[in-house]
Amino acid sequence: MSLTLKPRHSVRAKISSVGTYVPPRVLTNAELEQMVATNDKWITERTGIRERHIVEKGVATSDLAVEAAKICLAKRGVKPEEIEAIVIATVTPDMIFPSTACLVQNKLGCPGAWGFDLSAACSGFPYALQVGAKLVESGAHKKVLVIGADVMSSIIDYTDRNTCILFGDGAGAVLIEPCEEGEIGLIDFHHEVDGSGAPSLNMPAGGSLLPASHETVDKKQHFVHQDGQTVYKFAVRKMSEATEILLQRNDVTGAELGCFIPHQANKRIILSTAERLGMPEERVIINIDRFGNTTAGTIPLAMNTAIETGRLKKGDLVLLASVGAGFTVGATLLRWEF
C-alpha cells in the first residue's frame, strides 16, 4: 500500500466514538403485506430489506439523536458539557425552525455548544462528518458531535408501496476529536451534487414554494416522492464513480481496505459497488435487512454493526460512500483510530 497524505493543517481529525439508537418498534415485511400490495419475497429480493424500526407517535428526530449521542459520549467518557459544536444531518427536523441541533443541545445538556442542521438527504452523514472534521482541523474546536438522524416514517405514505417498503427510523452519532501523535484519522473526501436530479426524489410541499395547504395535503405532497428507476441508475453509477475517484487519488486499492461502509439504500447497489472495487463481501458492511434505509442514520448504524461483528478494528482503512436526494454524492476515506 502506498497511501499518500496530502499537505494540510497540522491538526488532523478522527472519529473517537460511535453511538447509535433505533426505536424499539419493528415493522416487518409481513406487516407491510397487510398494508399495501406487496410481499416479503419481492421486497427482500429487490432491496435486501426484511424489517425496519419505526417510532411511536410523538417521538421526534431530536429524541433519536439525543439517545444516540448519549451512548456515543458514554463510550468515550465525555460529558455533554464538554461538547463545543453539534452538526446534525437530517431531512426530518422536528420543525422547520429552530434547528434540531438547537433542540438536541438543550435536551442533551451542552450549554457551551453551538450548532446547526445540514440537509443532504442520504449523503447527510458524510457531509456533516466533513464539516465536523474541518471545525477540529481548523483548531477552532476539540470536541464536535456529528449526528445523522431521521424519522422517515413521518414523511412516508404507507399506501405507496414504492416508498413505504424502503425506509426506517434511526440515528447515529460520532465524536470528532484531534488525532493523537501517530494517528491519521480522516484522510480525504469526494463530494458532488447534481441538482438536475431534484425532481426524481423529493418532498414537494412544506417549504416556501408550496406551503402547507388543504390542496398540498390532499395531493399527498408532504410525503416522499420518488422515481425509483432514475434514482437506482444514478446511485449505481455514482456510488462506484465517487469511491473509485477517492481511492485513485490516494493510491489505495479496494484490496487494501479493511472495511467498506456504504449507505444502506439497496443491497444490489452496495454489492455492485463492492464488485467494482474488488472487495470481498465479508468486508462490506450490510445491515439493510434489519434497519432499511434510515437516510442520514445508515452509515453510523453500519459503523456500529461493523464494530459489533468485529469487522472494524483500530488501524483499518475505511471507505464510506453515499448517494442521496439532490442528487448528492459523498465518499470518505479514513483510518479507524479506536
Query: Does the active-site annotation cover 263?
Result: yes
Q: What DSSP line would sit under 242-273, residue for residue?
A: HHHHHHHHTT--GGG-SEEEE--S-HHHHHHH
Q: Which of 29, 287, 293, 304 is catalytic?
A: 293
Nearest-angstrom CA–CA distance, 228 and 254: 29
How far apart are the two ends of the chain, measured CA to CA in Å? 21
Are the C-beta atoms of residues 86 and 57 closer than 8 Å to each other? no
Query: Does the active-site annotation cover 304?
Result: no
Please list the residues that pair with 259 across neighbouring strands.
318
Q: Which of 122, 164, 179, 259 is catalytic?
A: 122
Hey, what's the cell of 77?
A: 467518557
Are the C-beta atoms of residues 191 and 127 closer than 8 Å to each other? yes
Q: Which of 110, 190, 263, 266 is catalytic?
A: 263
DSSP 132: H
CA dihedral 243, 246, 249, 254 (to 10 degrees): -50
Hey, what's the cell of 94?
A: 422536528
Query: Does the active-site annotation cover 72?
Result: no
Start-end of H helices in 226-337: 228-249, 267-277, 288-291, 298-308
CA dihedral 107, 108, 114, 115 (to 10 degrees): -80
Catalytic residues: 122, 263, 293
